Amino acid sequence: MYGFDGGKKVKGRKRQTLVDSLGLLLKVVVSEANAGERLLAAYTLMELLEERPELLEKVEVIWVDSGYDGDKFALSVWLMIQAHVEVIRRTNQEFQVLPKRWVVERTFGWLNQYRRLSKDYERLPEMSEAAIYAVMTRIMLRRLVV
């Protein structure tokens, strides 16, 4: 049970994140903001599959927001890791807490507490990715201590 979100756009860049059901970061890809979300999600999944395939062996469902809706994306995820894609949609225009979607949004909230990630100060996307991994490492280490 994992989730994707690419909603965080900072200064012409898009952060594509893949988190587990606790909101802990598994993979992040920073790219230009005009790239398609579904293409970036597939790329992120392929990168994680190449680096650490054991993380994706038992995945059955991937929760995504409506930006990832489409049969081609669902088919590509199925062909890569044999997981179903479940799109979490809003039912009305008013604010509501969506089940499972808040996990990824909470992760973005944790990352935005750090000044270096609140704005994009980096020139290279690789440096932005490294800063995100460093902050997430600190967050996870603080959880172990407490």
Q: What is the pLDDT of residue 1?
A: 42
Q: Which DSSP state fits 36?
A: -
Domains observed in the chain: 2-145 (3.30.420.10)
* Other CB atoms within 10 A of residue 142 CB: 9
Sheet holding 25-32, edge to edge: 25-32, 13-19, 2-10, 61-64, 84-87
**What Rg do the C-alpha atoms of the chain give, in angstroms?**
15
Q: What is the pLDDT of residue 75?
A: 93
Q: In this structure, what are the phi and psi dihedrals at residue 125, rounded to the nearest 5 degrees?
A: -60, -30
**Whole-structure pTM value:** 0.78
CA distance 1 to 19: 9
CA distance 55 to 31: 23
Residue 106 three-state SS: helix
CB 43 within 8 A of CB 62: no
Q: What is the pLDDT of residue 7?
A: 54
Mean pLDDT, contiguous 10-residue spans, the chain (146 residues): 53 82 87 85 90 89 84 91 85 72 80 80 84 90 82
